Structure 1
Amino acid sequence: MSSTRPELKFSDLSDERSYFKKYLQLPKKDDASCLRFIEHNNKDYFSCIGYDAEFIADNIYKTHSVIKTRDNFKYVTISPQVFSNVLKYCLIEKHLKVEIYNNKSFNLICSATPGNLEFISEEYNINFEFQDCSNSVIAAVKVVNNKIGVCLINDDIIYLCEFDDNDLFSNLESLLLQMGVKEVILNNEDSKLLQVLNKIGNLVINISSKFSNKNIEQDLSKILEGDEDIELILSSKGINTSEYQNSLSSCNALIDYLNLLNGNKMFTINQYNLSEFMKLDSSTMKALNIFPEFKSNSINSIFELYKCKTNAGSRLLSQWLKQPLTKLQDIKQRQDLVQLLIEDTSLRVSILDIFGNNLPDIKRLLKKISSTKNEKLEHVVSLYKIVLKLPDLIEVLKNTPGTEFWYNPLNKNYASLIKFQELVETTIDLRALEDPYADFNIRPEFDPSLIEINERLTNSLEQIKQIHFEVAEDLKMDPEKKLKLEQHQIHGWCFRLTRNDSIVLRNSGKKYIELQTVKAGVYFTTTDLKKSSQIYNSSFEEYNKKQRDLIKEVLSITLTYQSVFTELSLNLAHVDLISSFANAAMIAPTAYVKPTFGEEMILKESRHPLLELQDDINFIANDVELNNGKSFIVITGPNMGGKSTYIRQIGVIALMAQIGSYIPAEEGCQLPIFDAILSRVGAGDSQLKGLSTFMIEMLETSSILATATKNSLIIIDELGRGTSTYDGFGLAWSISEFLIKKQCLTLFATHFHELNQLSEKYKQVENLHVVAHVENEEDITLMYKVEPGVSDKSFGINVAELAKFPTKIIYMAKRKAEELEQENTKKLKTEDVEKLKKILKEWRSKNPNPQNAVEELQKIVDENNFKSLLDL
């Protein structure tokens, strides 16, 4: 953070009072969900007041020393450089709403939410993308009974989706997760729906009254690309207006919420088919560590496993991880491309070389070029540099069999962009590609008046470079490494030395003029440099003024290629992502393999891809063989023994396989194609406001029971521990029976060892246990190996010993455990059973009538001194 922050300035006392008075007159807000900022002097600096100031002090500056008080109001000021990071933190990390007001009128300049970042991004020139490697998607949801209509906007695509759902909104939850929705607009505050949305987490939720089908076709005709009739456009996408009433109503709400009719942005429309992709619930997303939850130097998520070279590739990876495929043909197509790159080292290396040079992000460049505030050619040149790389990539693909999937569309893209390449080369002065001090301008040949100005500009730049070498020689400083020549935003062309090196300026008299000392060093100039800089700046401004109309024309022509560049971006992203799949498979501690798909699950020496990458871990691989009708697996064993890792690694491997990746196992693997991975894992009270851990567990399990089919993979890591032992076991048993009858593949890790008895009742049940070796009934060695059979103990106290519990506590725990075990599990010896048989036979032989049966039995017990036996 900048050490020098701006001060809150007022012209007089009345101005100060007016400022805080106007602030108090703003509409009330929810401090927990919204932050307000005040913009001063046209973005010179920003401030926030009261609760917002404390929030910024705590979360951005990490100290309350930045808080100042004026007229009993706490406030914090923020420099423009820090402000961009503040907005990213509030909107992307904390999922808050942001409002920015003018410091004079206190009119709202702009507001933003995690699902609506476009206007604030353009206003303050901030790139919000790639903070979580996905786009900001916003959705409107209309619920009528159990019929749900959803409209989603992802960048420039409008999706409509209409479907039936259960009372737990499982399909809606899956849709929002698949699309990575950040904000949801609802037509009413349905308590059940709000519970589901809160369970997903990190969603901004708003209520709107604008859900209506009135004028929707007319409004869509204004924002959709194409000149066709709106009904024709919708029908060509398979959208029947009579069947999509709720989603079209939701679309109307989004058009109003985002104020799309007053913008220039054009959209395409499509339907979204929920069944095309594997369903994932929010619990599964967390349990399988699909996306990183915190920043770390180590790899903690599946997303981080695949290292894409481009931002577009990272965005596509995020999409694929949320939308695993369910069609075998599509999965095999990706697998074949991964196999091609693994087997063809030359092709893989060539692609890495092309993508390894920081390929610019086409989507971001197009957004900057389309901005009304942009009058720069550098973004056009960046697109041009991408086009220059295409022939090399196309040539590599052309000479490699099996790459037609990439070659054909890329070759078509390049053919469409040759005219763009010619446009850039004939209109833009490209000397700046070689000269770091030059700027991208329109070639002076386009206008005779530009030639004269360009000569002055070029001459002044040459003089500046000459002065640089002269000063470097005078100060005996290396002009490349020590004495930096920079174009400062305030001082123009000037020199910079580090603070340590700036000592040479002290003995130089008045020859060098110090301008500013900052953390980066000391800025200074000379009289000659000042003059040359002034000539350069004035010539630059004059040149810019004359070329402005020409620049706008070039930018406008560039945007006519927007659809081609967008398609090119997706094609390059696909190549990048498949390359990252191949690299991940090759560089893993043990190489990944290509799985096949069938009815059974057979995994040989399977591993967890994240754990095996951790330092100082020698991962123990395990086989998985679920065939012969076995669909329900009960896994018992000690805490820390590897039960959770085992069931989660199966889920991770299934997901990796269905996005087209190779998997961490040995050759000969086979998996079913799952329509869903649903999980019930560890929960916490904080996940849902006002709900206990046990209630969360029941909600998640209820969702699984309502959603699961025979083609689903269910992962349950403990169940029923949040209530009494008997209630918990009863629930676990009944839920297990329900899932067994549904025939979905279920992995159930539990400490209820009685669940192993399910195998006696149902042939679909198989018992597995994680192996632990115990010596002297005390020392436990966890083997992390999963084998058939039952574990009769959980070894909780042994694990506590491994955790270095105090000896006294361990001793007391063992003693109490023994007492409870003796009390609850007393067993009769063989001779005692024989004695009881003798009692009962003698009693029966006397043929007692019902009136004196009890007295006869008591008499036999007393005569044979069996009272102590019956006390058992």
Structure 2
Amino acid sequence: MSSIVPELKFPDERSKTLYFNESKKKCFDVMDMKRIIINEAHKDVFVLFNSHADRACEVVYKTVGPQKTHQSQRYVTLSLVNFEKFIKHVLNDGGKVLVYDHDWREVLEASIGNSEGLESRYGIDMTAGDQDEVQAVVMALKVEMDMKNGETWTIGCTFINQTLNVLGFSTFEDLPDFFNNLETILIQLGVKELIIPSNIANSISNTFKQVVENCHCLLSTSARGDFDYNDATSVSISSLVDDDMDTILKLENHPHAHLLKSTLQGLIKYLNLSTVSSSSYKKYDLVEYSLSQYMKMDQSTVTSLNLFSDDLMDDQNNMIAQSMTTSLYQLLNKTTTLQGSRVLKTWMKQPLVDKTSIDERLDIVEFFNNNPELRSNLRLNVLPKLTDIYKLFKKLSKFKVSRSQAIELTTSQLDPAMEEILKIYDYINVIPEILEFLNDAISEEDDDRDSKVKDLIFNKFVKPLTTIMNPLSKPVQIVDTYIDVEHFIKENEIKFVLSDDDSEIKKLQESIEATKQRLERIFEEVCDLMDPKTAKKIKMETEYNNIGYCMKIPRSDGDKLKVLTKIGYTELSIVKAGIYFQTREMTDLNKKLYQMKQTMKESQIDIVSEMLVVFKSYYPLLMKLQSIIGTMDVLLTFSYVSIEQATIPYTRPIINKMGCGGTEVHKARHPLLEVNEGVTSRVIPNNISFASNSSKLKILTGPNMGGKSTYLRTIATCQLFAQIGCFIPADENSQVVLVDGIFSRIGSGDCQYLGLSTFMVEMLQMSSILKSSTENSLVLVDELGRGTSTYDGFAIAAGILKKLKSINCECIFATHFHELSDIDESIENLKMLSHTKRGNVLNEDEDKKEITLLYKVGKGKAGESFGINVLEYIGFNEKIIGIAKRKLKELEEDNDTDLNTVKDNINVDTPGKKKIKLQLSKEQILNILKRWKAELQGKEITKEIAHDLLHDLVNEQ
């Protein structure tokens, strides 16, 4: 339990002084939350100091109460359970852990991508947990500068995803001022740790570090020599990957093959993939990864859309997390298998851009919609039987492999190894049941469309599952041939099925069985010696305290044991539950049974070891099997979410190719608002239109709290759902045009560790969006320019709006600069509708406006933002509201004109003088210019002369 605080003990005061003196050298009070120092003071007692102790208190204990102070150092102790909890928190947050022993010698350093030390020393399983397990995608990266164009870098990288069994490589060009493509690949792959050579660590820019940090990725370095590739030192690719010569040849003949092999070398060294124990059975799928094969999203979009909830949120201590659905992943993740949740997370980071592939997913979802019985049987009755292949093989990897590729088992490992073998055996045996359900569903004849969809189901699931099951019949046959599965499940012990009557193992098994039967008869004989009432109270225990078979009688009936004096008995223990005892013969038989079991286990080791070798050889095939099951699970889940979970059923969108037509979504709803209890009634559907006959760029204005940000998120969510192959929360016949990227600037935040203000972060984000977006992108901008003065903000917003128009992308530009609505007639204006009612003489406040927010999008522009009305709506302090109203009135009276006339105005800004603005006709301007030309008589015009001329003009008006 998290409340247990272990005590830090020392044999004497001198030891305590030496310990804390050394801790000061190692743990001086720094605010480095990415490199946590932990001391293993005693067995199961871990100590953190100063700022790291503060963090441990926050994460584990939720209070600083357990924290203590010694010699001006704050410290806190953790038990092994809490140590594991804190470790996972730190590594998930992109940190590293450095562990020292009691004498402050370094024990290990661990990161999210390299946690084997934690697993071997403390038994911490980084994959343990429910749906949101740790998925450590690790990438190694190197850069080359384009000598012809120094502004462009060529980046080569290799990455590994252990849970999906993928080893991939990619190259791409990037601009060192932005690293947009680096950000894209880190997001799409979900990279947790990025490895770079140590020689370039000091030369990389702050922008590079910022991009990596924003993607919640740990930046680590490895020795330069680890990336030095040559044929003599390289690990053969074929020893790591499945037999895929086409992809291997692609890598070998790649234009940047040396760069890629260098990063592969660095990745292998860092993760120690070349060791025999880790590569003996693992064969990865080698893939070439291209950024263009999926839709791009920046980290700002991932955050603003609430794509994933905070991985560090403690659901047990957060009432909001308990009662509400806080992310789109949480909304969709109703998968049945752990592999399904992994696939879903990957799909959400990698939306498709190919219409055919998306339509295939939608076809399958629709098929499951139309077959509710099939969906229910698979989701509720079949898939829950499947465990996780990756985790099973993680456990199997603990059984060491000798140089001869044989498994070296001990007798204590025999039963655990057999357990994992049988779990894999059970997994394989569920597949025929899945195939039976699918075959039944596609066997009936229907119309042509149904026939095409059933062919798709056959090709996507039935055929590949059948193909995989053929070779997997061998390990199943081995288990059926040698192991009595039912006996193992019932008794938790191995019993071989042997046809050879003269086999030593069979004779031993028969002796064991005969001994057990004699022990059972002894129990019956003891009961016969007792009176019937007492006999009913006696219980047989088959495994008591490593003693074996014994009996238990209630303490109140202990005196009844005297009748056993003739046959002899021994009291083993007297506890609250009763008196445990054995007869003399039972004691002898237990010893004999133990010796026979040990002999049996020794004779079983070779057979079980051979079975382990066989099962490990099928790891790649089993991972392919699990991948197919994961895909099926996600598509079943999309059907469930769309039909059963949704308050109003989601509908299938019509997918149009990129650049063909315009998106038209009818009555779109934000799914997170809709699903949360108490909010459904306030969800107002809105249309989304980027029709080809209308402007692709739209300005959205409206009151504060009127729903602008929600509308933007609804647009992006519908686009995302469509491109991952899910139905969308909208009416039927909605059309979605594919986009190559979603880029958004919604919300605000600073970046303190780089000294960046909110405004600077906003500008950097917009600069990145303008570089990344194309005419096929979707761009969503919310309240740009609010971090600076009104005039600066308006000018910046207007300039960016002009640039977005030139890009010609689909864009909604939400703003409180209502005057932007007038700067270009070709830009369509939208507004959040509201109903306002002004006070009258009967009101206490004639200027008071009552506003009713309708959360509905209409055409046109809004006249004001009703900020003060929002203060009234939420019950803000009346005195402050009164001051705000008076000040607003003063400002409105003082300003001769406002930004509404900027586009038609002549503006002169003279230092120290008030800005002058006039609205003039074309004829007036021409007359003034002719008069000025005569008055200047060839003089060079300056700001001062121009200001004086305008001042005279003002006085004339």
TM-score by length of 2: 0.77
Q: Is residue 2:314 matched to residue 1:300? A: no
Unaligned runs of 5+ in 2: 146-152, 316-320, 401-412, 443-453, 562-570, 839-847, 901-919, 938-951
Against the structure 1 CA distance between its residues 806 and 680, is the aligned structure 2 distance closer, same or farther, given a 3 Å change threshold?
same
The one of 487, 492, 513 aligned to 1:439: 492
Q: Kindly indicate whether the alpha-carbon contact (under 8 Å) linking 2:179 and 2:208 is maintained by their aligned counterparts in 1.
A: no
Residues 31-180 of structure 1: matches in 2 within 5 Å?
31-39=32-40, 44-51=43-50, 52-67=52-67, 76-92=76-92, 94-103=93-102, 106-108=105-107, 110-129=108-127, 132-133=132-133, 135-145=135-145, 146-155=153-162, 156-166=165-175, 167-180=177-190
Deviates more, 1:818-827 or 1:770-779: 818-827
**Matched residue, 1:691:** 756
Q: Kindly indicate whether the alpha-carbon contact (under 8 Å) linking 2:365 and 2:635 is maintained by their aligned counterparts in 1.
A: yes
Deviation at 1:151, TM superposition (A): 1.8
The one of 198, 218, 231 aligned to 1:204: 218
Letter in structure 1 aligned against 2:287: N
Deviation at 1:207, TM superposition (A): 2.8
Q: Is residue 2:695 matched to residue 1:612? A: no
Against the structure 1 CA distance between its residues 464 and 119, is the aligned structure 2 distance closer, same or farther, given a 3 Å change threshold?
farther
TM-score by length of 1: 0.84
Q: Is residue 2:303 matched to residue 1:248? A: no
Letter in structure 2 aligned against 1:415: N
Deviation at 1:9, TM superposition (A): 5.3
Q: Kindly indicate whether the alpha-carbon contact (under 8 Å) linking 2:46 and 2:83 is maintained by their aligned counterparts in 1.
A: no
Deviates more, 1:81-90 or 1:583-592: 81-90
Partner Cα distance (1:468, 1:131) in 2: 51
Against the structure 1 CA distance between its residues 458 and 138, is the aligned structure 2 distance closer, same or farther, given a 3 Å change threshold?
farther
**Matched residue, 1:860:** none
Report the RMSD for the aligned CA atoms in angstroms. 4.3
Q: Kindly indicate whether the alpha-carbon contact (under 8 Å) linking 1:198 and 1:688 is maintained by their aligned counterparts in 2.
A: no
Partner Cα distance (1:744, 1:696) in 2: 23
Letter in structure 1 aligned against 2:98: E
Deviates more, 1:522-531 or 1:700-709: 522-531
Residues 288-687 of structure 1: matches in 2 within 5 Å?
288-293=305-310, 294=313, 295=315, 296-297=321-322, 298-306=324-332, 307-355=334-382, 357-372=384-399, 375=414, 376=416, 377-401=418-442, 402=454, 403-404=457-458, 405-431=460-486, 435=490, 438-443=491-496, 445=498, 447-448=505-506, 450-451=508-509, 454-455=512-513, 458=516, 526-528=580-582, 543-587=600-644, 588-598=646-656, 599-617=661-679, 618=681, 619-627=683-691, 628-686=693-751
Partner Cα distance (1:477, 1:71) in 2: 65
**Matched residue, 1:519:** none
Q: Secondary structure at the match of 1:292?
A: coil
Q: Secondary structure at the match of 1:685?
A: coil
Letter in structure 2 aligned against 1:397: L
Q: Kindly indicate whether the alpha-carbon contact (under 8 Å) linking 1:325 and 1:659 is maintained by their aligned counterparts in 2.
A: yes
Q: Kindly indicate whether the alpha-carbon contact (under 8 Å) linking 1:309 and 1:355 is maintained by their aligned counterparts in 2.
A: no
Unaligned runs of 5+ in 1: 497-503, 516-521, 829-835, 854-866
Partner Cα distance (1:210, 1:852) in 2: 70
Q: Is residue 2:848 matched to residue 1:775? A: no
Letter in structure 2 aligned against 1:150: C
Deviation at 1:494, TM superposition (A): 11
Partner Cα distance (1:478, 1:638) in 2: 78
Partner Cα distance (1:605, 1:91) in 2: 42
Partner Cα distance (1:494, 1:31) in 2: 58
1:397-445 superposed Cα distances (whole Å, 9 cap, x missing partner): 122331211101111222222221121222333235653xx21425274
Deviates more, 1:289-298 or 1:369-378: 369-378
**Matched residue, 2:298:** 281
Q: Secondary structure at the match of 2:306?
A: coil
Deviates more, 1:394-403 or 1:486-495: 486-495
Letter in structure 1 aligned against 2:580: T
Deviation at 1:662, TM superposition (A): 0.5
Partner Cα distance (1:607, 1:279) in 2: 23
Against the structure 1 CA distance between its residues 310 and 632, is the aligned structure 2 distance closer, same or farther, given a 3 Å change threshold?
same
Q: Kindly indicate whether the alpha-carbon contact (under 8 Å) linking 1:234 and 1:240 is maintained by their aligned counterparts in 2.
A: no
Deviation at 1:485, TM superposition (A): 8.4
Residues 722-737 of structure 1: matches in 2 within 5 Å?
722-737=787-802
Partner Cα distance (1:380, 1:163) in 2: 43
1:549-574 superposed Cα distances (whole Å, 9 cap, x missing partner): 33322211111111221111001111
**Matched residue, 2:448:** none
Letter in structure 2 aligned against 1:652: T
Deviation at 1:626, TM superposition (A): 1.6
Deviation at 1:690, TM superposition (A): 1.2
Q: Secondary structure at the match of 2:441?
A: coil
Against the structure 1 CA distance between its residues 229 and 811, is the aligned structure 2 distance closer, same or farther, given a 3 Å change threshold?
closer
Against the structure 1 CA distance between its residues 593 and 2, is the aligned structure 2 distance closer, same or farther, given a 3 Å change threshold?
closer
Partner Cα distance (2:521, 2:670) in 1: 62
Partner Cα distance (1:848, 1:602) in 2: 54
Letter in structure 2 aligned against 1:630: S
Partner Cα distance (1:822, 1:289) in 2: 43
Letter in structure 1 aligned against 2:219: I
Partner Cα distance (1:632, 1:494) in 2: 82
Against the structure 1 CA distance between its residues 333 and 103, is the aligned structure 2 distance closer, same or farther, given a 3 Å change threshold?
same
Q: Kindly indicate whether the alpha-carbon contact (under 8 Å) linking 1:656 and 1:663 is maintained by their aligned counterparts in 2.
A: yes
Say how many residue pairs are matched.
820
Q: Secondary structure at the match of 1:265?
A: helix
Against the structure 1 CA distance between its residues 494 and 228, is the aligned structure 2 distance closer, same or farther, given a 3 Å change threshold?
closer
Against the structure 1 CA distance between its residues 568 and 198, is the aligned structure 2 distance closer, same or farther, given a 3 Å change threshold?
closer
**Matched residue, 2:887:** 816
Partner Cα distance (1:327, 1:770) in 2: 34
**Matched residue, 1:792:** 863
Partner Cα distance (1:39, 1:709) in 2: 54
Against the structure 1 CA distance between its residues 825 and 211, is the aligned structure 2 distance closer, same or farther, given a 3 Å change threshold?
farther
Q: Kindly indicate whether the alpha-carbon contact (under 8 Å) linking 1:223 and 1:265 is maintained by their aligned counterparts in 2.
A: no
Q: Kindly indicate whether the alpha-carbon contact (under 8 Å) linking 2:519 and 2:549 is maintained by their aligned counterparts in 1.
A: no
Against the structure 1 CA distance between its residues 300 and 82, is the aligned structure 2 distance closer, same or farther, given a 3 Å change threshold?
same
Partner Cα distance (2:184, 2:550) in 1: 57
Against the structure 1 CA distance between its residues 444 and 338, is the aligned structure 2 distance closer, same or farther, given a 3 Å change threshold?
closer
